[in-house]
Amino acid sequence: MPFFKTLRDGERALLINRQGAGSLADGPQRVFVVGKSFERLQRLSADQKEYIRVQYRNGNIEHLPGPASLFLDPLRMDSANVQNAISLDANEVLVVYQRERESGGVLRRIQYGPTVFTPSADEWIHKFEWHGTDPNNKTRKIPGQLKFTKLRVIPDQFYLNIDDVRTKDDALITVKLMVFFELTEIEKMLNQTADPVADFINAVQADVVAFASQLSYEEFMENSSKLNSVEHYSQLMSLSKRIGYEISKVIFRGYHTSDQLQRLHDQSVEKRSALKVQMESEQQSQDLTDSKLLNEQQRQIMQQSLTVDKLKHKHTLEKEQLVHHIRLDVKDHEEQLERDKAKKMTELQSKKKLQDEQLAHLRQLNELGVDLTTYLVSQHPKPDNVLRVITKGSGSTVHIHP
């Protein structure tokens, strides 16, 4: 039997003598163990996402958040274990309770994410138990099926089938819905309800039953689209505000009836569909006839318009041609007038020049003392006509007729 035990660096051992007294030894060292029991202590360590829960022998409990490490000391501790801290995303919260040491009361606070939460020894987490989805049927809710501690504060939804909804004419149907909701006031929810999903289910059932009870089966089919509007869910909207939720919308996913009623409904739908197809066919025929007549009318209008345009074009061309000829005639006439004017001016200038020459000649003759009257008479020895006027008295009147 060895007299010494070796403790490496980072190790710790418990030594108990024959009287039952214990002591601790830390390495590195050589420990004399004769007459003593030797026990290496278990070392526990926790990283950043863990913590060490220590149960002391005096009843106290301590939580050591990581990173941390310790040796399980049987002299002071009953137990110690490593537990995971709670990781919270940005859309998750925890409801944390803590006992006050002085007053003995309990305080409640909301821990928001994102964070890694390590509860202290005097804190505990609220555990929720709500109606949850049946694993075998997503439209059926089971009490206590949904168990969790992280409360989600983002928009969410659930499917719901409301069975045995009775119409005014005693037809039983199953209404299929999808409810969208969002938690907006956590404190109000904690104070007003223990299971908001159950409250939603009851309120929706009440609203749908009230809606269907006022309508016959045929009327329900015609007005079923109104179930897509939150205005027809008064009890659900009132409840959601009271427990801190907001209902964004409710989707009507259809309905289901008994096989016999569904068969009758299918036959009725088939007949209505056939009549509708027949009516649509007749309507299409009428529309085709109307379209043909309209096209023919438009074609005639277009032909008339083309004819009028051709006549207008022809008249325009004739008018332009006539105007062109008139302009040419006017231009020719103006040119002829200019030529006649030039010719007349030439003749007048020639005649004037001749007269000027004769006048100059007469002036020269006059200067030379020639009797111009005798000269001019001699230039015309035989007059064509000779008039002789003989007057008697000063008051006589003379009439000359050629």
Kindly report, residue by residue over 267-283, the tens digit of the pLDDT.
666 777 788 888 888 88
pLDDT given at position 221? 86
Query: Is the pLDDT at 259 greater than 90, yes or no?
Result: no
In this predicted structure, the answer to whether residue 217 has a pLDDT above a threshold of 70 is yes
Question: Is residue 67's pLDDT more than 60?
Answer: yes
> How many CB atoms sit inside 10 A of residue 107's CB?
11
Among 313, 67, 93, 52, which Cα is nearest to 185's?
93
Note whether 162 and 177 are within 8 A (CB).
yes
pLDDT-derived band at 38 (thresholds 50, 70, 90) equals confident
3-state secondary structure of 227: helix
Residues 236, 242, 248, CA angle at the centre, nearest 5°? Answer: 50
What mean pLDDT is reported for the chain? Answer: 87
Least confident stretch, 95-99, 232-236, 352-356: 352-356
Amino acid identity, position 155: P
pLDDT recorded at residue 14: 87
pLDDT tens-place string over residues 117-135: 999 988 999 999 999 988 8
* Residue 116 CA: distances (Å) to CA of 63, 87, 90, 98: 14, 4, 11, 18
pLDDT value, residue 3 = 79
User: At residue 395, does pLDDT exceed 60?
Assistant: no
Beta carbons of 139 and 110 less than 8 angstroms apart: no
Of the candidates 110, 108, 56, 111, which has an alpha carbon nearest to the alpha carbon of residue 79? 56
**Could you name the CATH architecture of 138-257?**
2-Layer Sandwich (3.30)
Give the per-residue pLDDT at 260: 62
pLDDT at position 384: 61
Give the pLDDT mean for 297-325: 91
Higher pLDDT pick, 244 / 387:
244
Of 75-84, 280-289, 318-327, 381-390, least confident by mean pLDDT is 381-390
Positive or negative CA dihedral for 66, 70, 72, 77?
negative
* pLDDT at residue 150, rounded to an integer: 94
Provide the whole-model pTM. 0.59
Of the candidates 291, 261, 52, the residue with the CA atom closest to the CA atom of residue 165: 261
Interval 216-237 mean pLDDT: 91
What would the mean pLDDT of 141-145 be, rounded to a whole number? 90
Query: Highest mean pLDDT range out of 170-174, 246-250, 327-331, 349-353?
Result: 246-250
User: Distance between CA atoms of 232 and 223, rounded to whole angstroms?
Assistant: 12
Average pLDDT over residues 42-69: 92
Which pLDDT band, with edges at 50, 70 and 90, does 371 fall under? confident
Residue, of 27 and 93, whose pLDDT is higher: 93
Cβ atoms 31, 15 nearer than 8 A: yes
Inform me whether the pLDDT recorded for 396 exceeds 60: no
